[in-house]
Amino acid sequence: MTDAPERVELLRAWRAEGLSLRECGRRLGISKNAVAGFCHRHQIEGPPAQAVRLEAALAALERKRERTRLAMAKARAAAPKPIVERRPEPAPPPRLDLQRAAIVPVRGCQYPIGQPARVGFYFCGDPVAPGAPYCPDHVRLCWQRLPRREAAA
């Protein structure tokens, strides 16, 4: 390959456009390595290869994104509407209203039956023994006489 000034300018232009060494060689009918040597001798720089590859990759990515977006929109339009099954909300579990239970005055025997704060708790409610808060049965259960102590000898 002759180092004619026209060729130098031609190659400089092609390389600036981003043509590869292989493509420049194909156009000139010489090998890629011959083009590389020529460019080296005349200090002809090629395109910043990495930047070109990065731009191409970004462009390809954007095209792929667009294809995906279109495919998804198409699929969404074609898909049947999902059937939303509505279930009734479960009824809340029964709760003991503690404040209310504390306010309600207890008539009769106040002996507690069951666990406070649990469903099913209540007070005995039978008629009370005179002077006591409980009915006679619960008075007997709660107050027991201590056995008399024998006088020590």
Instruction: Pick the binder of Zn ion from 42, 101, 126, 133 (CB under 5 A).
Output: 126
Residues 27-56 that bind Zn ion (CB under 5 A): none
CB of 127 to Zn ion, least distance (A): 9
Give the nearest distance from C-beta 116 to Zn ion in angstroms. 16
Q: Residue written as tokens 């000139």?
A: 28
Binding-residue total with Zn ion (CB under 5 A) = 7
Using rule CB under 5 A, residue 23 touches Zn ion: no
Nearer to Zn ion, 36 or 106 (CB): 106
Binding to Zn ion in span 91-120, by CB under 5 A: 109, 111
In the block, tokens 């406070």 appear at: 116
CA of 45: how far to CAs of 5, 7, 31, 84, 85, in Å?
16, 14, 17, 64, 67
Q: Is 124 in the site for Zn ion (CB under 5 A)?
A: yes
Whole-number minimum distance, CB 120 to Zn ion, in Å?
A: 17
- Residue of the chain from 24, 35, 44, 135 that contacts Zn ion (CB under 5 A): 135
CA distance 67 to 59: 12
**Using CA atoms, how far apart are residues 69 and 124, in angstroms rounded to an integer?**
73
Q: Which residue has the tokens 């004619």?
A: 4
Interface residue list for Zn ion (CB under 5 A)? 109, 111, 124, 126, 134-135, 138
